[in-house]
Amino acid sequence: MGAAGRGLARLLAALDPPRRRQVVTHSSWARRRAASYERLEFLGDSALEVIVSEELMRRHPGSDEGDLSWMRQVVVGRDSCAAAALAAGLPEAFVAAAPAERAQSAAELAERPSVRAGLAEAVIGAAWLDLGPQETRAAVIEAFAPALDAVVPGERDPKTTLQERAARRRLEVAYELTGSEGPPERRRFTTRVLVGGRVAGEGTGGSKQASEQAAAAEALRGLGAGETG
């Protein structure tokens, strides 16, 4: 487990057993929906935004609200949350906690980025309640360090940049998933992006969103700032 993975894993281990069970309980096998991780996910989503907003303001004192907003959007997005969950071993804990008759469906659910992201936010919500904001904040900053380190003020992600440049030329941008391969735990997706109806780039990644970002990055390299700006 890498340094980033230890953050959420540490929070999960510090929870009381009943709360820990709730964090890894899906609504499909919970005795009642309120006993699943969904309520904790709801709180964790808000807590994550507060923690990341504060950290971004600390790291980038000269950035305006616009830059801070898009950086936060990237850091707290589904892919970042899913990556943090995977690094902490949360999908495995989720599958291990499922009833025997639900093992197969739990394994399939654990491959979904939305479920992985929900698990990450549920851990954060549970820790906020049981361990307090200070301990939760430290672990979240550790867990989301790769995403926090990757965002740079003034540099939008490739999809946003491509969309903005294409919009200035009144061109539509569309993404098409063209394939996926590999076992569930190492699935690779391939997506192509069309700008103005023409294929402008193709990319692969560990999620559909990541493959779209890679395709947009290739399109930007091919189009060049002069063509689209």
Token pair listed for 78: 């589904």
The catalytic residue positions are: 45, 121
Picking from 92, 127, 150, the residue at the C-terminal end of a domain is 150
pLDDT at 228 (0 to 100) = 38
CB atoms within 10 A of CB 76: 21
CB atoms within 10 A of CB 225: 9
pLDDT at 229 (0 to 100) = 39
- Say whether 12 sits in a helix, a strand or coil: helix
Picking from 117, 150, 183, the residue at the C-terminal end of a domain is 150
Residues 68 and 165 in one domain: no
pLDDT at 225 (0 to 100) = 44
Residues 8 and 113 in one domain: yes
For tokens 């904790």, the residue is 40
pTM of the model: 0.76
Which residue segment(s) compose the domain that 34 sits in? 3-150
Q: How many domains does the chain have?
A: 2
- pLDDT under 50: residue ranges of the chain: 225-229
DSSP secondary structure letter of residue 154:
T
